[in-house]
Amino acid sequence: MTFSAHERARARRYAMQALYQWELSGTDLPLIRRQFLENEDFSKADTKYFIELLSEAPKMIDIIDENIAEYIDRPAEQLDPVERAVLRLATYELLYRLDIPYRVTINEAVQLTKKFGAEQGHAFVNGVLDKAAKKLRAAECKKAGKQAAGR
């Protein structure tokens, strides 16, 4: 089964909200996942991807935080909670979901931050992820740069 970009975006949105809730409340992740699956409309969301994000990203938090640490000016724990959740999910994608183009990951993260984050949070998230992508997806970024220059 193939999911549309909209269904994948909705899965990211739910996963960001669930990760945000988990970090702020300390509630057990399986309980939060169950609450989201029961209370949100997943008819237009990629449920499998939501479950993957919520299951796998928290397991990789230390690796994810290490990969964004050099691009932020303070510890991840001191970031705005929405920005932190968005950055962690997007960095998970950059690291482990090479099937998703880095530009899609960055764009989705910026859109989530515009909707749920602080007023200029999206600019911060965009800057961090742009720098991280250049390192984590160096070949893909280089190829995209050559294609853009060739137009």
Q: What pLDDT, on the 0 to 100 scale, is given for residue 144? A: 77
Q: What pLDDT, on the 0 to 100 scale, is given for residue 149? A: 62
Q: What pLDDT, on the 0 to 100 scale, is given for residue 2? A: 61
Q: What structural domains does the chain harbor?
A: 5-146 (1.10.940.10)
pTM of the model: 0.92
Handedness of CA 41, 87, 19, 53 (dihedral sign): positive
Under a CB-based contact definition with an 8 Å cutoff, are residues 89 and 125 in contact? Answer: no
Q: What pLDDT, on the 0 to 100 scale, is given for residue 150? A: 61
Task: Report, as ranges of residue numbers, the positions in the chain whose pLDDT lies below 70.
Answer: 1-3, 147-151
Q: What pLDDT, on the 0 to 100 scale, is given for residue 48? A: 96
SS3 helix, strand, coil % of the chain, rounded to 5?
A: 80, 0, 20
Q: What pLDDT, on the 0 to 100 scale, is given for residue 145? A: 72
